[in-house]
Structures are given as structure tokens and as C-alpha cells.
Amino acid sequence: MKRTKKNFPEKPLKPGRHPIRQKLLSCVLCICLLLVSLPVESYGSEVQAEESVTVEHAGVMVPGKESAQTLQEPEENLLEESKSDRDFAEDMDLQMDKIPEERIAVTAEGEEGEEVGEDPKCGVITQDTVWKAGNLGGGDLVLENNATLTLTGMVTVERDIRITGEGTIVKAAENAYFAPGKDFEINGKITLDGKNIPGGMPFIYCYGKVTLDGGCIIQNMKSKEGVAFSAVSSKGGVFNDVTIKDCSTPWKGGAVGNDGSGYVGGSDLIINGGVYENNAAGEAGGLIYNDAGTVTVNGGTFRNNSTAKEGGCIHNGDRSSNRIIINGGVYENNIAGEKGGCIYNSFGTVTINGGTFTDNSAETGGAVYSDNNLEVTGGIFNNNISERAGGAIYSDGNKGKFYLEGDVEFQGIDNSPTSYTDSVYSMYLNSVIYSREKWLHPVKVFVGDAEKRGAIFKGEGEYQIQKEDVENIRVYDMKTEKKWYNELRKNYVYITLINPGTYNIFYNSNGAQGTPVTDSTDYKTGEKITVKESTGLSIAGQTFKEWNTQEDGKGTAYAPGDEITV
């Protein structure tokens, strides 16, 4: 504290003291106070050792020094009453003797209201360092010796920045994050740890592209209510060898947001590899929310990501230009409380050319739920489940086209009309599944109201649906357990209760009482049918004569045991 007349008013002369002595004494006291307020470096090593302390600031324990203390005791407690004839030197000796040794204090960084840490700057960091809020500028930042860099505030970055080496960057306050205006790259064994401190911004809030590689890890990032993308928000970028785990937000994009809105350079996020696990969002996109742009996934492992509503792993946001392209990767045990255990498509387009989808689940669309354009040309679906139809894929089909073709394998399907595992659901009566090429594996399709349904599949372009394609389709009705058949007509596949290309024989009891005779066998052309006995049927006062093709007996007669060639 600065000593002024305002906060240290001059005291009146004490009775019996010489005025000059008292004035001199006041001067010496000022010198004494100034002396004990010098930095600790001005004292000997003994004093430094005694006065080294630790203070807490912004939730971080950092080296510091005890804040300055002002000697507030009344002067009469420090100075023994003396008479006017007492020697001035004795007064001063007494004064120095009365200053308690433990009251010697220093002024240093870390006082209340003052930021702790160094100004951010690029270069090499070899020991634990604390940065306060500031401007990093740009360039290369290297962490060595597993050093820990602690952020206590927002660090703006004006130019491209590249972080390499080996160490940890820690978020120490809710307003601590990087705010790059250009591209941001991490390439090395760097761990970014959010310590589960709810933040008001993504830890990397980048107006350029973000590149993550070299085995870096992003973990424990958390957003406050109403804040999306806890870990990374960028205008695209490239993710290679990176692990993103245990990040969450109450809103959308548990860890990552691809936000290219208003960005001239385009927002293309490319994921070539990495591990993405245990991330969660309250509403949409447990791992990624594609707000504006294209997300292309060529590889990586995506597991145990979740949301309470839509898109346990990836949510394709509310723009018609948004795209999700899946060329590869492993997607397992991702969960959505409502729609799309792994992927949810809102207004844009989702294309799946490959990848393995295993044990994903949701109320509808265990692996994929699409409200708009969906193209599935490859991939493996295994044991994806939903409470309603569409264990593998749920297509609304009312707003866009659904293409299913090529090498798509649904491994968990069976012939049960009540099992939705790895099935496909086509919702609307006028919805058609399109194919531009042959599909190679069986597909199990559920429809909402089969008896009112028109075509199920349609060949498009130059492709003409073939007979073997029709044999790979199994259609089931959500409302009934009736057996439905496929019929190919003019490059459309329709469903019918009569199996085209097969024949059935029906036995009419013609008024007889008892158990009807039935035969549920589907007979193909050239096969023989053996006419059954009338066992169990009777008419009072009459005996059985024959079966006939007409009720009045004027048609063709068949006796039990006769053979009919189809």
C-alpha cells in the first residue's frame, strides 16, 4: 500500500517530546516501513526461506509470496513512552527491537484481484508454467520434459500456431481456452486436460482449421449449460492420431463442432484415424455436431458415445448443404435415447460407403436415423438394435431419397416378423428405396402398412433390378405378422400376399363340419402336389366321395392320393 497523507495522517505531537525528535522519528519509521516492504530477493537467504509461501489464485496452486502487510498497531504499542530528556538513539533502538521478526512482509504477484502467471508466448517450455490471459501471437510452441502448461484465462492467437513435444496443457478456470484466429495444430504427445471444469467456450475455439496428430489426447472437457462443443470448434481440419475422450456438454456436440457458417474457405473436417470414446451430449451429437460443412470419416474407432436425444456419435445439423461421408471406421456401442444410436441426419445428406457398425442402439434407428437424403453403398451392420423397427437404418423418406445398393451386409437379420435387429425401416407409404446397382446381400425391410403400400424398391438410371435382387428382399409389416412376397414389375419391386412364381392348393370344406384341410406349401412350376385325405370332415347322413374343382361337382375330380403337376 502506498503511504500517503490520506491513508496515514500525521499524528499530533505527543506531550513531553521534542518536536524535532518526533519529526525525525517519523522519518525513520517511514524508511523502516519502506525497508521491510522490499522484495524478498533483497533479504538474505534465511529470510527468503522463512517467507516462501503458497497462495491460491483462480483455482491453481502456484508459487508465490505472502502479500504485503501494513503495520496497523498504534504507535504507542511500538514505542515505549519516553520522557523528553530520553536520548533519541535510545528511542530508535527501542523501536527496532519492538518490530516483530515474523511481521516482515513482501509484495509479490498473486495479490487479490491480480492475475497469476506469465504472459503467453511461443517458444520452448521445459518446466511447469502458468499463463494468464493474453495474446500468444503465433508460431511454434514446444513442451519438453513432460512440462505442464496451465491456462488461467483466454489465450488469443493471431497467427497460425503449432504445438509439439511432450507434456500437458491444463484448463484451470471456466474462461480458460485457446482462441486462434488462424489455423491451430497439435502434433505430439500433448495432453489437453479440461479437469471437468464447466467452460463457457470450447477449449479450442478456432476460426481456422484444426489439425490433431502425433498421439495427442483431449480429455475431460466440459461445457456449461447452453454451450456447445466442449473441446474443439473449428472451420474444419484434419484428425489423425488423436484420442478424444470423456468430454461432454448439456447441449450439442459433446466434444467437437464443425462450424463453417460464414466461412469462405469451406469447412471440411476429415477424420483419418484416432479413438473417440465416452463423449456425451444432452441433446444432439454425443461426439460431433456438424453445424455447417462436411465431415468425412476414413477411419478411427468410435465407441461408447451417447446422447439423450439424437445422434449418439454424430449429428448432421439443420442445413441442407451439410454432409456426412463415412468411408470407414469402427462404430460400436454408441447410444441415443431417441433417434440414431450412431448417426442422425436432419436436413443434409449422409453417405455410408463402408465402416463396421456393431451394438449401436436407439429407440428408432439403432445405427442410423435419416430425415433426409441417405445413401448406403457399403458397410457391415451387426447386432444393432432399436425398440421400434430399423435396428440398422430408419429412413423417414418424406424429405429426401434413400439409396441402398452394393456391398452392404446386415449380419443380424432373421426370418422373425418381430425382431428388428439390423433391419431397415421405410416409413411413408410413398417412400421408395432406390438402387443404382445390384445389392449383394439379403436385406430385411419393415413397412408401416403393407396392405396400402405401393412399390418398395425402384431401379434408377441404367440399372435394371434383377430376379436375384428380388430374392434378397424380405418384407415385413409392422402391424401384422402376415407373410409378404415380392413381385418385380417394370423395374419396381412390389409386395403381395401371393408369392409370384409359386402356387398353393386350397381345400374347400363345402359345408362339411370338422377341422379344415390345409396345405401351406409353396409349389413351383413342375412340382407335384399330392391330394390330401378328408380326415376330420363329415356331413350328417352323407359319405365323402371326392375333391372337385367346383362346388357342384361338375368340375375336375381328384381322389385322395392323386398327384397334380403344377
Q: Which helix (H) or strand (E) holds 23?
A: helix 19-36
Share of the chain above pLDDT 70, in %: 78
Q: What is the mean pLDDT of residues 241-245?
A: 98
The mean pLDDT value for 437-466 works out to 91
Q: What is the pLDDT of residue 126?
A: 98
Torsion of CA 406, 502, 475, 459, to 10 degrees: 40
The structure's pTM equals 0.73
pLDDT for position 53: 32
Reported as a pLDDT band with limits 50, 70 and 90, residue 558 is: very high
Task: Report pLDDT for 206.
Answer: 96
Q: What is the pLDDT of residue 429?
A: 65
Distant-in-sequence contacts of 497-501, Cβ < 8 A, 24+ apart = 501/525
Q: H or E element: which one contains 88? A: helix 88-98
pLDDT value for 37: 41
**323 by DSSP, 3-state: which?**
strand
Those residues whose C-beta lies under 8 Å from the C-beta of residue 197, and which sit 6 or more positions away, are 59, 171, 172, 173, 174, 176, 222
Q: What rounded mean pLDDT belongs to the chain?
A: 82
In the chain, the largest separation of any two C-alpha atoms, in whole Å, equals 156
**3-state SS, residue 503:** strand
* Amino acid at residue number 214: G
Question: What pLDDT shows up at residue 113?
Answer: 54
DSSP conformational letter for 387: S
The percent of residues in the chain predicted with pLDDT above 90, rounded, is: 63
352-405 pLDDT per residue, tens: 999 999 999 999 999 999 999 999 999 999 999 999 889 999 998 677 899 999
Per-residue pLDDT of 502-528, as tens digits, reads 788 889 999 899 999 999 888 888 889
Give the separation between CA 273 and CA 298, rounded to whole angstroms.
Answer: 7
Determine how many CB atoms are found less than 10 A away from the CB of residue 181. Answer: 15
pLDDT in tens, 2-26: 434 344 344 444 444 444 344 444 4
pLDDT tens string 267-306: 999 999 999 999 999 999 999 999 999 999 999 999 999 9
431 falls in which pLDDT band (50, 70, 90)? confident
How far is Cα 35 from Cα 273, in angstroms, rounded to an integer?
A: 62
Cβ burial, residue 239 (10 Å; 0-12/13-18/19+): buried
